[in-house]
Structure 1
Amino acid sequence: MKRSTLNITLAIGFLAVAVGILVARANPATNYEPSVYTGTPTITWLGLGLGLAIAVSIALACRGREQALGIALGGTVVTAIVSLPVIRNYRFSGMGDALSHLGWTRDIANAEMAPHELFYPAVHTIATAFHYVGGIPIERGLLFGMVVLFVPFLIFVPLIAREITGPGMAVGIAAIVSWMILPINNVATHMGVHTNSNALFLVPVVIFAFMAYLRRRATIERLPFGLSPFSLLIYLTAIGLLLVHPQHMIGVIALMGAIAGVQFLARRRFDDHPMLDHPTMYAHTVVLGVIFGLWALSNERFRNAATGLIAGLFQEDVGGGAEVDQREASFEAVGSSLGEMFVIMFGDLAVISLVVGLFVLLVWLGRSGLDPETKSFVNYFALALVPLTGLFLVYFLGTPTMAFRQIGFIAVILTVLAGVALARAIGALSGVITRPGGTAAGAVVLGVCLVLGLMTVFGSPIIYNPGQHVTDQKFSGYETALNDADQETPLVGMGYDPYRYDHGINGLEGVESLSSGAASSGVIDADEFENGSYSTAYNEVDYNFVVTDFDTTREIEIYQELHHSQDSLDTLETDSGADKVISNEEFRMYAVQGEE
């Protein structure tokens, strides 16, 4: 294709994306949206889809400047999708940990807490900076911070592929796989204000830092204490990751430790091997281990989490097996299945894992055709998957949530390897048919996985997980309920404990745990509530019962009245023991008399 034609095609792509973003901005969300996908105008999706199709084609077919522009176009599209809550003027997004992080950020902004008092203060500090410098609400500052921490993932994954193989198709494929956002699984990692998930997007930055250290062997002016600039870069990026969330620092240390172990064995076994020319990672592994140990062991929250993990390993009905059984029963009750949900939520990760696994096997069998230098880097990452998978198994047996977070970390490594693996696969296919045919086939497979990955980045009814859009009306309702209602009366939700809103609205006042900040809160007893026994549905005491659009969407529409029915809510309206005391378009609160 001629350069002029490519330039026009790229211009069309960027223009389509710009139009899509402007249309989305011109149509902000006015009410609660169960799905950001259906709430966003169709024109926006057409513009973003056209831009993404052009980006995939150019990233695969072109090299050099044109490929870089194609990657930039695709990265812009994916960043726009991730930024939809910001673009469409969401008040906030996130109803779990996100609200607690909002509370901590509010405490920092109000000088009720210093950033260093938090175990991982980076996200909160970034949001506070946006709040003060940009004059924007704290809620919006956190959403901006989410986007800022996501962008490095799109930039550094293709850069790592370039460090491994040099310029070529692998760089473009690595970029495309990064657009699938494989680390997000909506089980324990989420696209939102969720520090553990946000930290995953910084892992490639640390990986690129030690790739640069391994690759660049030229003598460079040394820094004090014998440090090289690249060693310093490793420490700085790793500390940055630690401040966002420390769990994935464990993965980075395991990764570096595996590389150091491979280097040690290579020096014992070989007299001539590319690994012998690489500077060792021994010191970096030890130093980062010490930094993490000093940071983590001095924190009570980390010690409690470690104790809980160890206890979970020795308890029955705790761990991934029990979690999977529970999810399977829930899916079957609403007419779905665990297999169907696995395909939707993990299908693209499964495909990429299979391709990478077969590729690594060919490398170990000596059938890959890679040069020795590239093969060395592939072996580093492939062998590092062994301890990382072992860590996943420990989490799986002890703390299922941590296990699915570890899957997110492993997905980062698979994303890095996928560029090289798929480039070799397309190259082999091109030898059988033709180069255009092989590239076209690769584009189709990548395109399908890309669509599947992007359609599950945010929670939505398609995965039985409604979007956690927090509107002005919902904030207003909870503010009134928390600040004006009787503080001694429990605030009770329909399957969702409202205490997180107390965190988000009033802050945690320096408390470093995620325990309830409200005087008393909880969830209604579904069986008692459905039987019409409203007076005994919460410990037989007086309580304030909250219903929001999120609750009714989840329980009535998505869960198909599995736990709560519309009839029970309608009956509550006329019950003599219940009075509606707060009501707006998306929030209702009833004062319910208990039996006592």
Structure 2
Amino acid sequence: MRRPALDATFAVGYLAVALALFLARANPASAYESSVYAGTPTVVWLGFAFGLAIAVGTALTCRGRDQALSIGLGGLVVTSIVSLPIIRNYRFSGMGDAMTHLGWTRDLVDGELAPHELFYPAVHSFGGVFHFLGGVPVERALLFTMVVLFVPFLIFVPLVVRNISGNALAVGLAAIVSWMVLPINNIATHMGIHTNSNALFLVPVVIFAFVAYLRRRATVERLPLGISPFSLLVYLTGFALLLVHPQQMVNVVILFGAIGVVQFLAQYRLEDHPILEHPTTYVQTVVLGTIFTVWAATNDRFRSAVVGLVEGLLAEDIGAAAEVDEREASLTEIGGSLGELFVTMFVDAAVIAVVVGLFILVTWLGWTTMSREAASFVTYFGLALVPLTVLFALYFVGTPTMAFRQVGFIFVLVTILAGLALAHLFGGLARYLTVPGANTIASLTLGVLLVLGLMTLFISPVMYDPGQHVTNEKMSGYQSTLHHGVEDQPITALGYDPFRYDHAINGLEGEESLTGGTAASGEVDHEAFEDGNYSGAYFDMDYYLVVTAYDVNREIDVYQELYYSEAGLAGVERDPAADKVISNGEVDVYAVRADD
């Protein structure tokens, strides 16, 4: 494509994304949205799709400055999608761990808590800084933090591949795969205020520093104690990752340790290989491992997590297998299936993983044309997947949530290797077809996978779970209940324990809150509730029942009355023992009296 036409194409692509952002901002969410995808105007998605189509095509065909512009365009689209909760003026997003992180951040802002008292204080500290500097609410500051921590993933994945191979096609393909955001699985890793997931997006930064340490020689004098600048960069980025979430630091230590083992064995088995010329990773592994040990050993949360893992390994009917059986039974009752859900959530990741797995195999067999230097990094990362997968298996048996967090880290490595793997796949295809023909097939195939990846970036009803949009009315309803309700009267909800809202509103350090012991909280007994026994639905006690638009959408529209029915919800209105004390259009709160 000629220069004027190419420049015009980029200009139109960036303009389309800019207009899409303007329209998204002009159409804020006015009520609870069960899906950010459905709630965002169609024309916004058309603008994003147009920009992404240009980015995919040009990332494969352009080189140099033009490829950088295409990668920037694709990254802008994906970052815009990640930023939709901010752009469309969500009060907050996330009803689980995100609420607790909001509470900790509120404690930091109010001076109730110091950053060093948290096991992983980075996200909360960033939120506090953005709150004070930007003059925005803490909720919005945290959403902004989520976006800021996400962007390095899009930047450093292609940079790592460029540093490993220098192949422009591999760089473009790595960028496209990064836009799929494969580390997010919406089982244990989420696009939101979730520190473990946020840490995943910083892992490529650490890997970039590590690759630079192995491949580049410092042009400045070594620092004191013989430390090279690149080695220091590994320590600094590793420590930053530790402050965001220590679990991903553990995985980095395992990665470096596995590479150190490869280097050690290479010294005895190989006579002439690039691995022998790389500086060893022994010191980096020991230093980062020591930093983690010192940081974690004195922390109660870390000790509790280890104890929970050991108990899970020893217990019966605990682990992912039992949880999968339970989920499959529930899906079947509402007309879904585990297979359908897997295809919806993981088909893009599965395809990329198969391609990467085959690529690692053919590289080890010597059937690729890549340089020995680049192949050594495939060996490093490929063999490192073995201990990382073993740890996944232990988590899978002991604590399923940790297992799928481990999958998130594994797919960071898979994303990096995918750039190299796909470059060889489509490069080989070009020898049988033409280069334009191979690029066309690559664009169409990756375009489909990209759509599948982005449509599961946020939780939505397509995954049999409504979005976790928190509205002003919802926060207001819970705040009024917590602050003005009868002291010691439990606060209950449908299908989950509402204690997270206490965290978000009052923080975790305050005395006058549920966590301070002034009142209990929990889920009502759905069987008693459905039988119309509202008075006895919570341990035969007087209690507050909070019913939100989210609850109604989840139980009626998504779960199709699996646990709570429309008739059961309507019955509360007519029951003489239930008095509606709050109603703001999004939240209804009932004061329910127990049987005398």
Q: TM-score scaled to structure 1, two decimals? A: 0.98
Task: Report if the CA contact (8 A) 2:188-2:401 is conserved.
Answer: yes
Would you say 1:359 and 2:366 are equivalent positions? no
Amino acid corresponding to residue 243 of structure 2 in structure 1? L
Q: In the alignment, does 2:574 pair up with 1:566?
A: no
- Find the aligned partners of 1:38 and 1:307 in 2 and give their Cα distance: 42
Measure, in 2, the Cα distance between the counterparts of 1:482 and 1:338. Answer: 38
Tell me what 2:19 maps to: 19
1:217 Cα deviation from its structure 2 partner: 2.8
- Equivalent-residue separation in structure 2 for 1:516 and 1:321 (angstroms): 36
1:27-76 Cα offsets, whole Å, 9 max, x none, are 11110000000111111111111000000000011111111100000000
* Alignment correspondent of 1:273: 273
Is this contact kept in 2: 1:508–1:517, CA < 8 A?
no
Contact 1:502–1:517 (8 Å) recurs in 2: no
Q: Deviations over 1:340-367 (max 9, x none)?
A: 0001111111000000011111111111
> In 2, are the aligned partners of 1:503 and 1:517 still within 8 Å (CA)?
no
Equivalent position SS for 1:536 = coil
Residue 151 of structure 1: CA displacement? 0.2
Deviation at residue 449 of structure 1 after TM alignment: 0.6
* 8 Å contact from structure 2 (residues 508, 515) kept in 1: no
- Mapped contact 1:499–1:516 kept (Cα < 8 A): no
Residue in structure 2 matched with residue 67 of structure 1 by the alignment: 67
Letter in 2 for 1:476: S
Q: Which residues of 2 match residues 375-524 of structure 1 at below 5 A?
A: 375-509=375-509, 519-524=519-524
User: Is the 1:312–1:398 contact (alpha carbons within 8 Å) kept by the matching residues of 2?
Assistant: yes
Give yes or no for contact 1:124–1:142 (8 Å, CA) kept in 2: yes
For residue 333 of structure 2, what is the aligned residue in structure 1? 333
Structure 1 unaligned regions, length at least 5: none
Kept in 2, the 8 Å contact 1:502–1:518? The answer is no
Deviation of 1:544 (Å): 0.5
Is residue 488–residue 518 contact of structure 2 (8 Å, CA) maintained in 1?
Answer: no
> 2:218–2:230: 8 Å Cα contact kept in structure 1?
no
Residue equivalent to 1:132? 132
Letter in 2 for 1:424: H
3-state SS of the aligned residue for 1:534?
coil
Q: In the aligned structure 1, how far is the partner of 2:367 from the partner of 2:284? A: 33
The answer (yes or no) to whether the contact 1:535–1:542 under 8 Å persists in 2 is: yes
Q: 1:146 maps to which residue? A: 146
Pairing of 1:72-471 with structure 2 (within 5 A): 72-218=72-218, 220-471=220-471
Aligned residue identity for 1:466: P
Task: Give, as a single letter, the amino acid of the residue that structure 2 aligns with 1:415.
Answer: T
Q: Matches of 2:320 and 2:413 in 1, distance apart?
A: 22
CA deviations on 1:134-171 (whole Å, 9 max, x unpaired) are 11100000000000000000000000010111041000
Q: SS where residue 230 of structure 1 aligns?
A: helix
Counterpart contact for 1:113–1:510, Cα < 8 Å: no
The runs of 5 or more residues in structure 2 that have no matched partner are none
* Aligned residue number for residue 585 of structure 2: 585
Whole-Å separation in 2 of the counterparts to 1:214 and 1:66? 29
Distance 1:515 1:190, change over 3 A: farther
- 1:217, 1:278 within 8 Å by CA — same for their partners in 2? no
Q: Hey, what's the Cα distance between the residues in 1 that align with 2:143 and 2:218?
A: 41
Residue 357 of structure 2: SS of its match in structure 1?
Answer: helix
* Contact 1:320/1:400 (<8 A) preserved: yes
Cα deviations by residue, 1:413-434 (Å, 9 ceiling, x for unpaired): 0000000000000011111111
CA contact (8 A) 1:217 1:279 kept: no
Counterpart-to-counterpart distance in 2, 1:224 and 1:464 = 56
Distance in 1 (CA, whole Å) between partners of 2:518 and 2:71 is 47
Check the 8 A contact 2:502/2:515 in 1, yes or no: no
Question: Matches of 2:487 and 2:13 in 1, distance apart?
Answer: 55
Q: State the AA in 1 paired with 2:579.
A: D
Structure 1 segments, 4+ long, off by >4 Å, are 514-518
Residue type of the alignment partner of 1:507: G
User: How far apart, CA to CA, are the structure 1 residues paired with 2:142 and 2:577?
Assistant: 41
Task: Single out whichever of 13-22 and 516-525 deviates more from structure 2.
Answer: 516-525
Q: Which amino acid in 2 is paired with 1:492?
A: T
Residue 516 to residue 369, structure 1, CA distance change in 2 (3 Å)? farther
Deviations 1:422-476 (A, max 9, x none): 0000011111111111111111111011000000000100001111111110011
Identity %: 63
Range with greater deviation from structure 2 (502-511 or 485-494):
502-511
In the alignment, is the contact (CA less than 8 A) between 2:146 and 2:192 conserved in 1?
Answer: yes
User: Deviations for 1:480-535, whole angstroms, at most 9, x for unmatched residues?
Assistant: 00000012110000002111000000111179xx9787620000111110011111
RMSD over aligned CA atoms reads 1.2
User: Which amino acid is the alignment partner of residue 347 of structure 2?
Assistant: G
For 1:47, the aligned partner's letter is: G
Secondary structure of the residue that 1:403 maps to in structure 2? helix
Output the CA distance in 2 between the equivalents of 1:73 and 1:484.
49
Tell me if structure 1 keeps the 8 A contact 2:35–2:459: yes
What is the letter of the counterpart of residue 282 of structure 2?
Answer: Y
Q: 1:91 to 1:517 in 2, by over 3 A?
A: farther
* TM superposition shift of 1:193: 0.4
Q: Paired residue for 1:548?
A: 548
Deviations along 1:308-344, one digit per CA (max 9) or x if unpaired, are: 1011001011111111111111111110100000011
3-state SS in 2 of match to 1:579: strand
CA distance in 1, matches of 2:112, 2:557: 41
Distance 1:515 1:269, change over 3 A: farther
Q: Which AA in structure 1 matches 2:568?
A: S
Distance, in Å, in 1 between the alignment partners of 2:510 and 2:216 is 45
* 1:515–1:509 CA distance, 2 compared to 1 (3 A): closer
Q: Offset of 1:594 from its aligned partner?
A: 1.2
Q: Is the 8 A contact 2:555 2:563 kept in 1?
A: yes
**Structure 1 counterpart of 2:29:** 29
Residue 576 of structure 2 corresponds to 576
> What is the Cα deviation at residue 220 of structure 1?
3.3
- Amino acid corresponding to residue 240 of structure 2 in structure 1: G
Contact 2:55 2:73 in 1 (8 A): yes
Q: For 2:341, give the aligned amino acid.
A: M
Distance in 1, Cα, partners of 2:182 & 2:516: 32
Equivalent-residue separation in structure 1 for 2:211 and 2:389 (angstroms): 22
Q: Deviations over 1:563-590 (max 9, x none)?
A: 0000011111011111101111100011
Q: In the aligned structure 2, how far is the partner of 1:517 from the partner of 1:308? A: 24
CA contact (8 A) 1:102 1:503 kept: yes
What count of residue pairs does the alignment treat as equivalent? 594
The answer to whether the 8 A contact 2:492-2:523 is kept is yes
